Amino acid sequence: MILFATLSLKPITIAEIFGKSIKTIERWIILYITEGINSLTSYNYKEKKPYLNTFQKNQIYIYVSFENPETLKEILCYIKEHFGIEYSIEGIRKILKELGLKLIKGRTIPGNPPSVEIQKDFIKNYHEMRSIDNSVTLFADAMHLIHQNLSTDCWGNPLFPPLNETNTSRRRINILGAYNPSDCSFLHISSEENCNAERALEILKHILITYSKASIINVIVDNARYFHAKIVREWLKENDRIKLIFLPAYSPNLNLIERFWKYAKKTLVRNKYYKEYKEFRAKTFQFFNNVKDHYKNIKKLMVEKFQIIYA
C-alpha cells in the first residue's frame, strides 16, 4: 500500500492525504507493524455483544411496567444495582424503545370504587330512565373555577417553549350546573358564593321552571351534603316531579357531567391567561351562557357510554 511505502512520513501528513483522522492512521500503522499487511485488507468485524441478556431485559420490562419510574436516571440506577452494568442515558432510551416502553401519562381512577354489579345496575337503570316518555334526565354537580392559568403539555418548538403567565389572585367562580345529555344543553347558577343547600334549591327551581312540561325530571347527583339537606328534602316532597338519583359513592366514571367540567376547564383556564379577574369572569359567563356554540365538540365528548372500574 502507498500508505506504508514509507514510514518516514508523519501521521499528520498521511492523515491529510487520505482524509482520515490521526488516530485512525496511527491505529493502521500499529496494525501493520504488529500483524502485517493482511490485517489492513480485512475488516475483522466482530459483532458487539449486548450488555444485557434476555432475562435481564425481561426484568427491566417488569420493573418499568409495574413500578413506573419517573426518570431514566432511576432506570439506570436499577440496572447498575441489580446487574452491575452502566449505561448511558441514550443507551437506556434505545433499550426501552426496543422493549416497547414509552414515556406515558397516567390516568386517575377512584381509589375505592363500588362493585362492578352496582356500577352495571346504575347504567341499566340510567338507560331505563332515559327511555321513559315525557321525562328528562339531567346530571347536576358543582365546579370551582379558580382565576389561574393552568399550564398543560402541548406541542411546540423546544428551542422556544411557551411561557405561561400566572395570576396572583385566588378568587374563584363556583358553578352549580345541570347537563342534559339528550340535547347537550346546560343550566347553571354561577357566583363567588360557596355551594350550599340554598344554592342547591336555586338550581332545582331553575330546572323545574325550564322543564315545566316534563312529567318526570330525574336529576342525577353525587353525595354532596347540600343535596341531602333538610330544606332540600322538604322542598322535593312538595315538588315531586323532580327526583334526585344519587350516584354510587366513589364513582365519578358514572357522572357524565365530569366530562363537561373537563371540557370547560380546557376551554377556559388551560394555558389561558386573564390579567384581570373581571375578564376571567366575563369569559366564564360567556362560555356557560352559550354552551350551544360548542355543540359539535361536546356531542363527541359526551357520549352515553360509561367506563366500569374494576377494583
Mean pLDDT of 190-200: 93
Instruction: Over range 284-305, report the average pLDDT.
Output: 93
pTM: 0.69
Beta bridge partners of 145: 173
CA dist 65 and 248 (Å) reads 31
Judged against a pLDDT cut of 50, whether residue 161 lies above it is answered with yes
| Alpha helices for 180-294 (secondary structure H) | 197-210, 230-238, 257-268, 277-289
Q: Quick check: 33 pLDDT over 70?
A: yes
Centre a 10 Å sphere on the Cβ of residue 190 and count the other Cβ atoms it contains: 17
Position 26 scores a pLDDT of 81
Instruction: Please give the residue that has the higher pLDDT: either 202 or 39.
Output: 202
Residues 30-59: what's their mean pLDDT? Answer: 73
Q: For residues 239 and 208, what is the distance between their CA atoms, to the nearest angstrom? A: 9
Cα 303 to chain centroid distance, Å, stands at 19
Helix, strand, coil percent content, the chain, rounded in steps of 5: 45, 15, 40
Residue 173: its pLDDT value, please?
94
Per-residue pLDDT at 43 exceeds 90: no
Q: Bigger pLDDT: 170 or 142?
A: 142
CB 50 within 8 A of CB 60: no
Nearest to 207 by CA among 248, 237, 236: 236
Distance CA 175, CA 202 (A): 12
Q: Are 195 and 143 in contact, with CB atoms under 8 Å apart?
A: no
Please say if the pLDDT value at position 42 is more than 70.
no
Measured CA to CA, the distance from residue 61 to residue 96 in angstroms comes to 8
> For 247-257, how does the pLDDT look when each residue is reduced to its tens digit (9 = 90+)?
999 999 999 99
